[in-house]
Amino acid sequence: MASSAASLLRLCLRPSRQLPRLRAAATRQATTTHRTFSTTRWRRAPPEDEAGDEEGAEKIVEHDPSHRNPGEYFKAFLEDESINAEERAAATRALKDWERLPPSEMRDFEKLLTSLDEDASWLRKNEVAKRDSFWNEDEADPDLITDELGEDDFEEDDILAMGHAKLEEHREMREYARLAVWELPLLSKLAKPFQPPVDGEILRFRYTSYMGEFHASDRKVVVEFCPADVPDLSEAQQLKLKKLAGPRYNPEKEIIKISCERFEHQAQNKRYLGDLVDKMIATAKDPTDMFEDIPLDTRHHKFKKQIKFPKEWYLTQERKQQLAAQRQQALLLDDAKREKGAMVDGMQTIQEALAAARAAAVEVPVPVAKPLGRGRR
Amino acid sequence: MPAPNCLRCLARPPPGLATPVPRTAAAASPLLNRPAATPIGTRTRAHAAPFSTTPAPAGPPVKPATPVGSGGHNRVGKKLKLGKFKTDRAAERSKVPLPGERKAYRKRITLSNDNALPVPWLADLTPSSLADPANTATVMGLPDSLQDQLRASDAFKPSQSWGMFRKPAVLVRKETVDLVNRMQDAADKKQTLRLVVTGDKVTGKSMLLLQAMAHAYLNNWIVIHLPEGQDLTTACTEYSPLADTDPVQYSQPVYVFKLIQAIKKANENLLSKMYTAVGHPGLPQSITANTSLLTLANVAKEPDAAWPVFRALWHELTHRSVARPPILFTLDGLSHITRVSDYRSPAFELIHSYDLALLRLFTDGLGGSLRLPWGGAVLAATSRSNAPRSPSMELALAQREAEQLQREVPKKDPFFRGYDERAEASLRSVQVLPVGGIDKVEARGLMEYWAASGMLRATVDNKSVSEKWTLAGNGVLGEMERASLLTMRV
């Protein structure tokens, strides 16, 4: 009897070959595009069919292992203060019915409950992937279009789960295509013309939006400002502000840049940054310690040298003429030297020296040659 | 005939005996009583020898003449002999160079080449020729006596290509004329020129120093040259603390001894004509007033007396009461001395180079705290090829150069730790002479000299000069040499 009950339960819990619930929810979400454009993260509303009035019923279905039989359960229920008189009467009646049962039937019931618990325990257990399994094969793959549960059981009454998933994919793509054609152009109505910041607006904030998708840095806010733009700051105070900013100061652009993603919402982060800048300015104005003994630290910044092609190097018409004249002059000088015989030629010098040595050797056979003046060692 | 072994030796166990004596036997005989606890790692054999600091001889341990425990039954059979057909390699090998021979070969200085052609128009340097702007871009020879003097003071370097030409000769550059005129001006006004020659690699900084020395020798200056800053600071010469100095200074007796020899040899003529103004009784040989300075220098017969003699010599050369010639004090390789040296004090702390007495004298001269009453110059040249990083020197030179050109002076990095304040202080008021490439006129003069010596087999015309000048990175001298002289392509 107990085994038949367990197999019945298993049958009920078998996955349907239809789409899983989560996937259905995702498609439903994509169609709800009636919200206005916003940078804050959306959250799902609680499902309507699980409203509060059925909580009591849910509680009855709920399995609490601390109650061994219906008697115990009803006793616990009657102790609750929040129930109304009608419920109390019904519960009292049910408790009396239970107590009228013979003890053997009570025991049978308890036995049945125990066997059900044991048989269904694998369903309740959290499935944890084995860590060092071969190719992580026990791990669920979130990238697949189906959840791969029981999809091989085919009963010839429907297409396969994979087929359902493919169809769903097509529907989704069409949905987005429709959105792109019909609704995205409407966004241009909301566009605002760019207005450059006016004198008082010294802070420049940057936000990041991932188009409603959840992302770790969608709450991040960055503020940039130039210490020289802050009103009523003397030179010394500006310098102190730069020193306070530390590595957040860029000495090349002269800009302080601070970011914050500490809090959950963008607005909170932005508020924090605003407060921080106020605090920094107030500290910079505080004359008790002006950090005069600390030089401005720029070790965090690598200065990039801007290399420009020198103006003098451009080959302008004038420059070309100048160069040509110089070359002409040099050639003329060379020619003049050549005419005078003052041009030095290494090869010629060597030939002449060798010829002279040979001639000397021929003229005076013994001793061999008048040696050239020997240099110092 | 005395017995080969004395009786006491016979009483000891033989040194090769490795078998430990049984404890019972050790206890029984007081002669062989040894401590029971032996240090780990020592062999039993070591106990026989007394404690000694000399290392054990290398090679296989000496075998006892007769095997230990040899009985009558031990046969000496046929032994395996490996490599019996090999000839003796050691006999074939040629003679190994003696210690120091290789270095001497590496560091030798050849000043002439008999195969090079003599250049007919090469004029020798005269006392005024280096100061004459008309000589710019000409190559001039070094007279024989000057060669001896420069060689004595180690002015020539093995890396310079003196050995390619018939006779050593130098190119007179614009910088040469500039430097020599500054030196001469300072000497005429009895002032001290304090200058650092700096520039890129192989641009001719050491050569400029040599030219300054040549000018000084030709004009009868006293020249003291420290050829390498490295020799004094890398802890390769002996040092000893000087008494009565606080903070302690260190003299380098052997180096100073050799320096005195060099000074004596190079400036012999001048020193023999100068006489001491005061007596120097503290030296190993008491020197009275009116003795020649050469005699004073000769007192340094050994390194121990070198530093006091050098002090006395310096005192005499800078004495105000007697007329003395100007002094040129030079050093090459400045970045080696503008930092902490490799020497250690008795407390094992590193000694700053400025605490070495000889270098202290030089840097005082360079920094301006030491005046030369009869004028002269203190010159230093940086080196770029063998130079440790010396950030303070680099910064100070860059600052002085910017000040001279009235540009924006570079600032000290406030967050950098490697600066040396003493080095900065000594370089706070020096002049800087930046040396760069030569111009094309100078390049032409040089190349004509090369061609006339038969070392450059090309016509020296505008084209070839421009080519080499450009190849050499706008006329860097060493690069020009590499491009045209030291290449195998002819």
Over chain B (490 residues), the average pLDDT of each successive run of 10 is 50 48 41 42 41 51 47 69 70 82 93 94 96 96 97 95 95 97 97 96 96 97 96 96 94 97 96 96 93 96 95 96 96 96 96 97 96 96 94 97 96 93 95 96 96 94 94 95 81
pLDDT band (50, 70, 90) for residue A369 = low
The reply to whether A252 falls in a domain is yes
Is residue B415 within 8 angstroms of chain A, CB to CB? yes
The reply to whether A7 falls in a domain is no
Q: Which residue of B has its CA nearest to A296?
A: B414
Q: What is the pLDDT of residue B88?
A: 66
Give me the mean pLDDT over the A302-314 stretch.
93
The reply to whether A368 falls in a domain is no
Residue A220 has pLDDT above 80, yes or no: yes
The reply to whether A218 falls in a domain is yes
Distance from the Cα of residue B262 to its chain's centroid: 12
CB contact under 8 A, A347 and B458: yes
The structural domain count of chain A equals 1
What's this model's pTM, rounded to 2 decimal places? 0.68
CB contact under 8 A, A347 and B457: yes
Partners of B469 on chain A (C-beta within 8 Å) are none
Q: What is the pLDDT of residue B85?
A: 73
Question: Do the beta carbons of residue B430 and residue B400 sit within 8 Å?
Answer: yes
The reply to whether A20 falls in a domain is no
CB contact under 8 A, A377 and B110: yes
| Percent of chain A surpassing pLDDT 90 | 47
Q: What is the pLDDT of residue A25?
A: 39
Q: Looking at this protein, which amino acid is placed at residue A19?
A: L
Residue A110 has pLDDT above 80, yes or no: yes
Nearest CA distance, A338 vs chain B (angstrom): 9
Nearest CA distance, B103 vs chain A (angstrom): 19
Q: What is the pLDDT of residue B29?
A: 42
Q: What is the pLDDT of residue B73?
A: 67
Question: Do the beta carbons of residue B397 and residue B382 sit within 8 Å?
Answer: yes
Q: How far is it, in rounded angstroms, from Cα B119 to Cα A222?
A: 76
With 0-12 / 13-18 / 19 or more C-beta atoms within 10 angstroms meaning exposed / middle / buried, residue B355 is buried
DSSP string, A206-264: EE---TT---TTTT-EEEEE-GGGSTT--HHHHHHHHHHHGGGEETTTTEEEEEE--SS
CATH of the domain at A250: 3.30.160.20
Is residue B470 within 8 angstroms of chain A, CB to CB? no
Lookup: tokens for A11: 């049958």
The reply to whether A137 falls in a domain is no
Q: How far is it, in rounded angstroms, from Cα A262 to Cα A221?
A: 10
Q: How far is it, in rounded angstroms, from Cα A37 to Cα A187?
A: 9
Partners of B417 on chain A (C-beta within 8 Å) are none
Separation in Å, CA A37 to CA A27, A29, A178, A191, B221? 19, 15, 18, 11, 91
Q: What is the pLDDT of residue A18?
A: 44
Phi and psi at residue B23, in whole multiples of 5°? -60, -40
* Cβ atoms within 10 Å, residue B15: 14
Q: What is the pLDDT of residue B448?
A: 95
The reply to whether A229 falls in a domain is yes
Give me the mean pLDDT over the A68-80 stretch.
84
The reply to whether A374 falls in a domain is no
Q: What is the pLDDT of residue A12?
A: 44
Distance from the Cα of residue B277 to its chain's centroid: 32
Q: What is the pLDDT of residue A368?
A: 54
Q: What is the pLDDT of residue A152?
A: 73
Query: What three-state secondary structure class fits B242?
Result: coil
Long-range contacts of B122-128 (CB under 8 A, 24+ apart): B122/B167, B122/B169, B122/B449, B125/B170, B125/B214, B125/B218, B126/B218, B127/B215, B127/B218, B127/B219
* Cβ atoms within 10 Å, residue A171: 12
Range of the domain at A240: 204-285
